[in-house]
Homo-oligomer: A and B are copies of this chain.
Amino acid sequence: MYPNDGFRELGRDECLRLLVSVPVGRIVHTRQALPAVLPVNFCLDGDGSVLLRASAASELARAVDGAVVAFEVDEVDAVRNAGWSVVVTGRAAVVTEPAERARLARIAPRSWAPSPREVFVRIHPELVTGRELVGGRTLYGVDLAP
């Protein structure tokens, strides 16, 4: 979060509640030394880690395996000037353990572009931050401004 920017910081529990309320987030990483960002569907595992499914042949899986990434979700209503964003920052890793892969095959969301050989990527939630835009109304529709 950035201080002095007029937004309300959200606590970790609130962030995790909001995180599961939307089906699509964006994974932010480095690709060929440049910032890269890609929308993906995801789910949260029981320990709060973010789970993605990707084609084993995709560059995404190779690019993020072992790297620290950010995973962002948001919901912003530009007309009402209200919304929120949540960012999970942590190390991403392709899951290799067979029993865990079998479990994730049941719970992780389907790929948008299914592939015969898929991998699961787990992002460990080392840092979970969020902020709410309170431009007139809060996230829950309660007026804050007089």
Could you tell me which A residues sit within 8 Å of B by CB distance?
A: 2-7, 23-24, 26, 28-30, 34-39, 41, 54-55, 57-60, 68-70, 72, 74, 76, 78, 81, 83, 85, 87, 89, 112-115, 127, 133, 135
The reply to whether A5 and B58 contact each other, CB–CB distance below 8 Å, is yes
Across the interface, which residues of B come within 8 angstroms of A59, CB to CB? Answer: 2-5
Across the interface, which residues of B come within 8 angstroms of A6, CB to CB? Answer: 55, 112-115
Closest chain B residue to A74 by CB distance? B39
How far, in angstroms, from A114 to B89 measured CA to CA in the complex? Answer: 28
How far, in angstroms, from A74 to B57 measured CA to CA in the complex? Answer: 23
User: Can you list the 3 inter-chain pairs with the closest CB atoms, starting with the nearest?
Assistant: A6-B113, A23-B78, A35-B70
Copies in the assembly, this chain: 2
Q: Distance (Å) between the CB of A38 and the closest chain B CB?
A: 7
28 A-B residue pairings within 8 Å (CB atoms): A2-B38, A2-B58, A2-B59, A2-B60, A3-B59, A4-B58, A4-B59, A5-B55, A5-B58, A5-B59, A5-B60, A6-B112, A6-B114, A7-B112, A23-B78, A24-B74, A24-B76, A24-B78, A28-B70, A35-B35, A35-B68, A35-B69, A36-B70, A37-B87, A39-B74, A39-B76, A39-B85, A81-B112
